[in-house]
Amino acid sequence: MVMKVDPSKKWTGPVRSYDIIKEGVIAVVVVGLLAAGLSLFFSSPDEPAVTLKSWAMTNPADFAQTATGELAGTTTSAGYGAPYNHAAKGPTLGPLKLQDWAGVRIPVDPAKSFVVEPLLMMNNVDATSSAESWKAATPDQQNKWATAYADALGKVDGATSIPDTKNEFGPVPTMVSSLLVMAKSGALDGALTTSDTPLPTNFTKPLLFLADSEGYFGDLASKQHLGGDQWGVMNETGSWPGQSWLWLFSLWYQIEPFKSSGNADTLVMTLMGLLTLCLALFPVFPFIRKIPYLIPIHRLIWKKWYARKL
């Protein structure tokens, strides 16, 4: 006969000896040994960080095209919206414009921050005068120059500069070539990271610029199976386990309608928020709270108790 048990009452039935401190100490030792063994055997991955210099040295054409895109306002950063600029309203969730409502709290003007201001810091007359010419022009003129140059660069595979035979690019070719020289020297990394403070811990600007690259940063990530469509949210460089606990988060990016949605981040974040809330509320959901009774895995867990072999 099974004894009825009221789970809300303090247990007054049979007990067994137990040493909570001893158990805790043994557990820490076991986990410590396990972690040490895994560390000695498998170590941990450390793919070196990339820089604007390594980008410019490895794929100068992509660097030149991206820099031109920053001036033309066609890169991801240039058209991002909050929290960096007012270029777009950003993704929405129905009537909720969460990204836009949060405001521009980390202001970044890509053309100015990534290209013009660093050029003005260069000890090079061509670089500074081309940047000054750019600043003196109207926004419409700037856009015409940069768009024309971006189109011309895009037509020549691997080009880092194009001769201005029709006099339609203005100072843009000089600006982009000068920025490429600056990046190859490593000076651009320093210029972007120290633009707000001489002792930086904030890498927003160089990372936004790197992330605008279409032929370098993303390619490196794809080779390390870190792309969004490669379950990259939960992957790690090399063959090490990454954030495997994010598997469900990563799953949604692999399937429709999220996969092809331009609003995937909002949808996935919202869905995961709701699922987390559901997990917390399992005890009060009528059906879910009964699943442990319908699928009696607890019979395995407490088999000794049910068999009264204790």
Partner 1 sequence: MSSSQKNWTARLRKSTLESMEPQDLLPDTQPAYVASWIYVFGVLTLASLIMLIATGLVLTLEGPAWWHGSSVGHFWNSMHLWSVELFFVFMVVHLWGKFWMAAWRGKRTATWVTGVIAFMASIVTALTGYLIQTNFDSQWIATEAKDGFNAMGIGAFFNTLNTGQAILLHVALLPLAVGIIVVWHILLVRRKGVVPPIDNDATLEGGAF
Total of chain residues touching partner 1, rule CB under 8 A: 105
One DSSP character per residue, 180-192 reads HHHHHHTHHHHHH
Name which position in 74, 224, 230, 261 contacts partner 1 (CB under 8 A).
224
CA distance 190 to 102: 30
Q: Which is nearer to partner 1, 144 or 225 (CB)?
A: 225
CA distance 67 to 61: 10
Least separation in angstroms between residue 208's CB and partner 1 is 7
Name which position in 57, 87, 88, 221 contacts partner 1 (CB under 8 A).
221
**Residues between 238 and 277 that touch partner 1 (CB under 8 A):** 240-246, 263, 265-266, 268-270, 276
Work out whether 74 is an interface residue with partner 1 (CB under 8 A): no
Residue 91 near residue 263, CB atoms below 8 Å: yes
Work out whether 120 is an interface residue with partner 1 (CB under 8 A): no
Stretch that binds partner 1, among 44-52, 59-67, 158-166, 171-179 (CB under 8 A): 44-52
For residue 73 the two structure tokens come to: 């306002």
Instruction: Tell me if the bond preceding 48 is cis, omega within 30° of 0.
Output: no
Work out whether 307 is an interface residue with partner 1 (CB under 8 A): no
Residue 168 near residue 145, CB atoms below 8 Å: yes
Least separation in angstroms between residue 100's CB and partner 1 is 8
User: Which helix (DSSP H) or strand (DSSP E) does residue 65 occupy?
Assistant: helix 60-72
Name which position in 60, 69, 73, 91 contacts partner 1 (CB under 8 A).
91
Name which position in 114, 226, 231, 252 contacts partner 1 (CB under 8 A).
226
CA distance 53 to 273: 39
**Residues between 174 and 203 that touch partner 1 (CB under 8 A):** 201-203
Work out whether 19 is an interface residue with partner 1 (CB under 8 A): yes
Residue type present at position 177: S
Name which position in 18, 95, 157, 165 contacts partner 1 (CB under 8 A).
18
Work out whether 82 is an interface residue with partner 1 (CB under 8 A): yes
User: Could you tell me which residues are beta bridge partners of residue 96?
Assistant: 93
Name which position in 57, 61, 87, 98 contacts partner 1 (CB under 8 A).
98
Work out whether 95 is an interface residue with partner 1 (CB under 8 A): no
Stretch that binds partner 1, among 45-53, 61-69, 118-126, 184-192 (CB under 8 A): 45-53
CA distance 47 to 239: 12
Number of other residues whose CB lies within 10 A of the CB of residue 122: 20
Residue 65 near residue 200, CB atoms below 8 Å: no
Nearest to 91 by CA among 276, 212, 269: 269
Least separation in angstroms between residue 239's CB and partner 1 is 13
